Structure 1
Amino acid sequence: MTEYDKLVRDDIPEIIRANDERPVTHVAEGDEYRERLREKLFEEAAEFRESGDPEELADVLAVVAAIRDAEGFDAEEIDRLREEKADERGGFEDGVVLERVE
């Protein structure tokens, strides 16, 4: 038996059953669901940080989209806010690293 206690993709229990194992699950809703999505974002971001694999980055984006939907945020509004912040403070394309302020 292996303990996980984490949010997984919807089809994972069926995949586990196909391997002749028995998943024990529950459906997270409301505050629990939103909190588990935030945890999942850190998990997926750490996996991308470690591997640099574009598949892991796709997982990060999938979790971000799920958070957006769970929170009821409008995709266009989020994109507008991202662009607005980039206009005000710049993006990350130049690779600027702030070492200190003296």
Structure 2
Amino acid sequence: MPTYNKLIRDRILEIIEAGGSSYNARTLAPEEHLTEIKKKLYEEVKEFDETTNETDALEEMADVLELLHAALKVYGKSFDELEAVRVEKKEKRGGFDQGLYLIDVEDK
């Protein structure tokens, strides 16, 4: 029996049962949940980094977005609140749309 010890999507247990397998699982406390969301985010960002085509890249970005939604729920915040923070930061400091890459800065 493989051991996973990781956060899974909400319907995975149903899928395991439908396949005729059994499992051991538990529901995480909010603090544990947030810790596991952060771990899973690293995993999904790494998978995004390793993609070689647009389809796979979109799949991994969707996973990252799903994890952000889950983290927002743990914090009791909405996606609209996150989006407002994103927009405010973009207005103050800009986004990442232009692909600018800073080499160095000469001190005065």
TM-score of the aligned structures, taking structure 1 as reference length: 0.89
- In structure 2, the residue matched to 1:22 is 22
**In structure 2, distance between residues paired with 1:72 and 1:6:** 23
- Bigger Cα displacement from structure 2, 17-26 vs 29-38: 17-26
Select the residue among 73, 77, 91 that pairs with 2:81.
77
* Counterpart AA for 2:38: R
Unaligned runs of 5+ in 2: none
What value does the CA root-mean-square deviation take over the aligned residues?
1.4
Sequence identity of aligned pairs in percent?
39
SS in 1 for 2:77: coil
User: How far off is 1:50 after superposition?
Assistant: 1.1
Alpha-carbon distance, 1:101 to partner: 2.7
1:92 aligns with 2:88: no
Structure 1 segment 7-86 matched on structure 2, within 5 A: 7-51=7-51, 53=56, 54-86=58-90
> For 1:32, what is the secondary structure of its paired residue?
helix
Counterparts of 2:24 and 2:95, CA distance in 1: 43
* C-alpha deviation, 1:85, in angstroms: 0.7
* Structure 1 stretch displaced more, 69-78 or 31-40: 69-78
Q: Which runs of 4+ in 1 moved over 3 A?
A: none
- Give the TM-score normalised by the residue count of structure 2: 0.85
